[in-house]
Amino acid sequence: MALAVQPYFVYGETMELEVRRTSALEARRASSAEIRRASAAQSTPATVPDQRVDDAVSSIAAAIGEPARTRMLYSLMDGHARTGTELAIVAEVSPSTASVHLNRLKSENLVRVHAQGRHRYFALASPNVARALERLSVLAGGARRPFVPHTPEHLRAARSCYDHMAGAIAVSLHDCFLRARWIEPLRRPSARRSAPSALATYDLTPEGTRALAALGLDLEAAHAQRRRFAYACLDWSERRPHVGGALGAALLSLALSRKWLARELDSRALFITRLGRRELNARFGLEL
């Protein structure tokens, strides 16, 4: 018996019918896919981000929860930076083990590292980290031991750091300039926020420009130098920043010319004169 085979591609009604059937089938499939996508979109947004946050919190808590890392973090709560060797002593571990711990804390954005000369200094990554640690310490109770510098006493108060001022007086001036909003950190949109590796670079505000010009600083000459104008230089003894760069050099030159400070012979140490104590208190509110 001969079979009549209907050709698939024919012209006329047969092809038109097949196109309609195919279009209807694809429409149903597309509709079903859209429904599934809409259903998934409604059910997952609330759970996926929450899961990621939960995982991040768990990872950070695990980083803080190791006793050696906890001791490291709380030793940085006073705002002073420390070297890896010092943090190894605080944590009661070997330097190599301390390096592993610090890399973990850095990967969780709990600490930041600043390289200065041949030293690498570690500090808390942000005020948010300090606040979180403080709240945990409230739950735990107890107090932390304060930072005790080991710098010779005659170098702690004031000294030169290359061509700018360092020591407790320089750190106090840096903090005073920030509080008065005479200087402000330069914004760097392209910099990675998650792992800052350098301290701030500063520029003068209009208020700072007027105030320092009134003191007699030649700001045009400072800006014209082929070097950074102002930056946060980590202080060797205080482990907190003072003002470095052309502005820091101009401040030291001014203090020496006005007899606020005087140099000790054959030493980087500076001593504060009686006039300097009065002037620094009157102009900047520093109690020395």
Closest CA to 240 of 154, 181, 169, 135: 169
Quote the pLDDT of residue 156. Answer: 83
Average pLDDT, the chain: 80
Q: For the chain, which residues make up each domain, given as ranges?
A: 14-42, 48-140, 153-284
pLDDT in tens, 58-78: 999 999 999 999 999 988 888
Nearest CA-CA partner of 125 in 177, 73, 53: 73
Instruction: Compute the distance between CA of residue 259 and CA of residue 25 in angstroms, rounded to an integer.
Output: 93
Answer whether residue 49 shows pLDDT above 60: yes
- Domain formed by 48-140, architecture: Orthogonal Bundle (1.10)
Task: Say if residue 48's pLDDT is above 90.
Answer: no
pLDDT tens by residue, 203-239 = 999 999 999 999 999 999 999 999 999 999 988 888 8
Q: Where on the phi/psi map is residue 213: left (φ > 0), alpha (ψ -120 to 50), or beta?
A: alpha
pLDDT tens-digit map of 77-121: 888 889 998 899 889 999 999 999 999 999 999 999 988 778 889
Residue 111 half-sphere exposure, CB side, CA atoms within 13 Å? 31
